[in-house]
Amino acid sequence: MKIKTYVSAILIIGCITSFSTACTQEQVVSDTKPTQVGAGTDRVCKRLDPLCLKQLTDDPIQDGFPSWSPDGENIIFSRYGGDVAPEKTGLWLVSPEGGEPRQLTAVIGEHPDWSPDGRSIVFDGDYGNSIQLVAASGGTPTSIVPESIPVEQGGQPKWSPDSRRIAFKAGSDLWVLEVSTGRLEKLFTGDGKRPIPSCWSPDGEEIYVFLLEAATEISSIWAISTTGAGNRQVTPEQDATYRYADLSPDGSLLAVTWCAGRDCDLWVMSPTGGKRLQITSHPSLDDGPAWSPDGKRIAFVSTRSGTFDIWTLEVDVEGLRHELETLGP
């Protein structure tokens, strides 16, 4: 089946062009041969086991950017119907157990992020030209960033752990908005590179971004301090392409997207850096990892079925940590 291209102005996952083909640290194992699991046993998902994958959406239009509700009962995602099904464009909810998705908003919205207190959802609206907020129960979204700070091609907003602040990008700048007061702080400037927020550390003292060179699509993961303690580069490669990242709820593992050419897969690594382990393997695109609140699953978007759909992957955090320890620094 031909993979369709997402025609929205800011959906990055459909616009990969020239990525590095270097791959030196991965342990690549094909996921085309299922591991047999005995009936009636307590299954522990091993790395790259296709039986641990679950497809949640299968609409022929484009789905992307999953984010979990704090209670783990729902996943919100963006859906774009284009000219074929414009009535389907908006933010949608689906149960991680499967079932029919239901629509939350009828306006174009991308990069949704559910607040940790469960009350609100922030997202990129107006084709990436404004950051908007909507109640988790639905309603009319409102813009929350003043026009004096131009947001273009998506700000990719991310909530802080205490639900008080939102990180977003505007051009080469990383900003933090205090929601209750509207106070804005420019936290970091990328000197021509775009600092795209991915997640906060559990203590709120760091924001993980992927620092993107727009001209080359080369990017690396950085942890930007919110306290002035100093920034640090998590991924050391000079010519690699790392994309969306998310910390496990206990803060022990960082799930990232790593791309070789047009082939993007999910990996895990220590949030302090070092070697990485591959957790999906498919000649398509897997992107946008999002940990479940209990740390047992990762939601992501994939084109492995022929269109952009939402999937989940069961993971064994303890087992992954052990494998990383055996690899050494």
Looking up tokens 């993007």, which residue turns up? 264
pLDDT band at 51 (very low <50, low <70, confident <90, very high): confident
- The span from the CA of 198 to the CA of 297, in Å, is 18
pLDDT > 70? residue 19: no
Predicted pLDDT of residue 47: 85
Average of per-residue pLDDT values in the chain: 86
pLDDT > 50? residue 84: yes
Contacts with 99 (C-beta within 8 Å, 6 or more apart), sequence order? none
Q: How many C-beta atoms surround the C-beta of residue 63 within 10 A? A: 25
pLDDT > 70? residue 18: no
Chain segment 198-227, per-residue pLDDT in tens: 999 999 999 999 999 878 888 999 999 999
Nearest to 219 by CA among 191, 194, 192, 189: 194
The model's pTM is 0.86
pLDDT > 70? residue 21: no
Residues in the chain, how many? 329
Domain ranges in the chain are 12-27+62-327
Percent of residues, the chain, with pLDDT higher than 70: 87
Phi and psi based region of residue 83 (left: phi greater than 0; alpha: psi -120 to 50; beta: remaining): alpha
- What are φ and ψ of residue 86, in 5° steps? -60, -25
> Which fold is adopted by the domain 12-27+62-327?
Neuraminidase (2.120.10)
Q: Which amino acid is at 1?
A: M
Question: With the C-alpha atoms ordered 294, 300, 305, 307, is the resulting torsion angle positive or negative?
Answer: positive
Chain segment 96-154, per-residue pLDDT in tens: 999 999 999 999 999 999 999 999 999 999 999 999 999 999 999 999 999 999 999 99
Q: Which spans in the chain are helix H?
A: 317-327
Chain segment 232-255, per-residue pLDDT in tens: 999 977 778 998 999 999 999 999
**β-sheet bridge partners, residue 215:** none
Predicted pLDDT of residue 46: 80
Nearest to 166 by CA among 135, 120, 212: 120
Predicted pLDDT of residue 44: 67
pLDDT band at 49 (very low <50, low <70, confident <90, very high): confident
